[in-house]
Structure 1
Amino acid sequence: MAVDREDVLCSAAALLTRKATATLDEVAKAAGISRATLHRHFAGRDALIRALEDFGLRACEAALDEARLDEGTAESALRRLVAAAEPSAGLIAFLITENQLFEGEVVNEGWGRLDHRIEGLFRRGQENGEFRIDLGAAWLSEAFYGLLSSASWAVASGRTARKDFQPMIVELLLGGVRRRLTP
């Protein structure tokens, strides 16, 4: 029986987003294959993580495409982006904490493409007067990644409800943490 590489990556992503320290034996078991079969597809943990990076970046690019960032207001685009990114949020949370992906001289160009597109959304919102200008677009992009990850972990741990994922991120990004005073 042939092993579908994408199915193995999906299983690995699901496990590693819940348990980042999972061993390759645990990854193989989660994928329903032997460790030897896993090794034939991925020479080791580093190769698996790099493949997950590519898999995750493709998922993020698809979410960005689905969100249609250039359509409508920046706020509506941000809401669509959070909704489109929700299914891959756990994988992104795992990947952004994998130091090996960001150490050394070679960093996947996909991260730069993602950053460029997300920063572009925030910059557009600033230029249109929708978003505050005292915080740079690069920082807002990093805050987006952080909130996406935090919301994913909060839902996965049962600390918050899945239905709250999108409003938690969007409302905090748009409103900040200041208490709103009623007039």
Structure 2
Amino acid sequence: MDTAVSSTGARARTRRAILDAGIAVLAKNPTASLADVAAAAGVGRTTVHRYFAERSDLVAAIGADVLDKIAAATDRARPDDGPALTALERVCQEYFELGDSLAIAFDDSLAGTWNWDGWDEETEADRALAGLVDRGREEGTLDGRLDTDWIVQLLWSLLYVAWQRKRGGDTTHNALSLCLYTLRKSVGVPS
């Protein structure tokens, strides 16, 4: 095996471990230090500093990672397949699975502290979600009285409530079930 390839793989795994630890630690304690992240990642502080010289570098990398995870989750949800309400539920389930990654992005106690590049720009995932909602309004599976932005914001709000519910001790199954039930009742065509 080529040592350069092996070294690159090891570096990628270490970076991933630090990012994952950063997400987990900062989701619980937004003021956590790089030393806290290093301990959670099972590496030394100097190792963390080799990858992220400052805490702000780690936070910026987490922001980019969250955008990548949203894009991948949107793709996995297949927003163009099937009735729009069913596809919207799949999107909601995929986003819910991102858990702490998105919970830290929308935590009120962190508002304004992340300053993540790309978060103010419309992404391909944003366009796919809006397109899904537009399709549902046009096909009549989503309530046409609700505009696209309202439905998108409602989805994110429901996810936030579900994450908070789970963090408060509710089961994953129950928090997600309540989220999906409320989404269906809120945006589906009234009977």
Q: What's the TM-score bracket when you normalise by the shorter of the two chains?
A: 0.7 to 0.9
Which of the numbers 137, 146, 168 marks the counterpart of 1:135?
146
Taking only the aligned residue pairs, the percentage that are identical comes to 28
**Native 8 Å contact 1:18 1:156 kept in 2:** no
Count of matched residue positions in the alignment of Structure 1 and Structure 2: 176
The equivalent of 1:40 in structure 2 is 50
The equivalent of 1:150 in structure 2 is 161
TM-score by length of 1: 0.83
Aligned pair 1:81/2:91, yes or no? yes
Which of the numbers 115, 121, 135 marks the counterpart of 2:132?
121
Aligned pair 1:96/2:96, yes or no? no
Deviation per CA, 1:132-182, whole angstroms, max 9, x where unpaired?
Answer: 122221222122122212211211220x221123222222122139xx99x
Which SS does the other structure have where 1:88 is aligned? coil
Give distance in 1, aligned partners of 2:77 and 2:83. 12
**CA shift at 1:110, angstroms?**
6.6
**Native 8 Å contact 1:126 1:133 kept in 2:** yes
**CA shift at 1:71, angstroms?**
0.3
Could you list the structure 1 runs, at least 4 aligned residues long, displaced by more than 6 angstroms after superposition.
Answer: none
TM-score by length of 2: 0.80
The two structures, once aligned, show a CA RMSD in angstroms of 2.6
Amino acid of the structure 2 residue aligned with 1:145? W
Give distance in 2, aligned partners of 1:174 and 1:102. 33
Which SS does the other structure have where 1:20 is aligned? coil
**Native 8 Å contact 1:90 1:149 kept in 2:** no
**CA shift at 1:111, angstroms?**
5.2
